[in-house]
């Protein structure tokens, strides 16, 4: 399936399962392969893929060996050097729940750690005050 993203670039349709497998293949490919070079570059310089302070960068800093990339319309995919991998698609396209859901899935896969705990909830603001939070329930 081919569509066009907001920038006008071609966009190929892929299922969450397909994303999961692709990310897993990148981190488990032999050292020196093109796939592994991409995964290693992103894990070494995560801010170059997403920016300082972004969810992807924060997750990779909190969990060594993790490759993460979020995308448009509430999509996030990850794989760890252990072989654990996952993909998240938020049905309404919101990115707000991605952090809590990713942390919950990582914990369910046995990859939770104390550095990730600060990302378990995303604040919800009403005006200039925090009025609640988004937390995953899996």
Tell me the pLDDT tens digit for each residue of 34-73. Answer: 999 999 999 999 999 889 999 999 999 999 999 999 988 8
The pTM assigned to this predicted structure is: 0.87
| Contact of 113 with 131, CB cutoff 8 Å | no
Tell me the pLDDT tens digit for each residue of 71-116. Answer: 888 999 999 999 999 999 999 999 999 999 999 999 999 998 888 9
The count of domains in the chain is 1
The CA angle 5-36-117, to the nearest 5 degrees, is 75
Which residue range(s) make up the domain with 125?
2-135
C-alpha–C-alpha distance, residues 41 and 34, integer Å: 11
């Amino acid at each position: 399936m081919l569509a066009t993203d907001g920038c006008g670039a071609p966009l190929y349709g892929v299922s969450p399962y397909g994303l999961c497998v692709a990310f897993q293949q990148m981190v488990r490919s032999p050292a020196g392969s093109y796939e592994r070079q991409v995964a290693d570059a992103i894990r070494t310089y995560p801010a170059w893929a997403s920016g300082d302070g972004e969810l992807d960068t924060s997750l990779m800093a909190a969990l060594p060996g993790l490759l993460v990339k979020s995308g448009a319309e509430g999509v996030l995919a990850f794989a760890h050097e252990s072989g654990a991998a996952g993909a998240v698609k938020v049905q309404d396209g919101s990115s707000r729940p991605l952090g809590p859901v990713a942390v919950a899935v990582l914990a369910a896969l046995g990859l939770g750690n104390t550095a990730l705990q600060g990302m378990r909830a995303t604040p919800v603001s009403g005006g200039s005050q925090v009025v609640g939070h988004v937390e995953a329930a899996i």
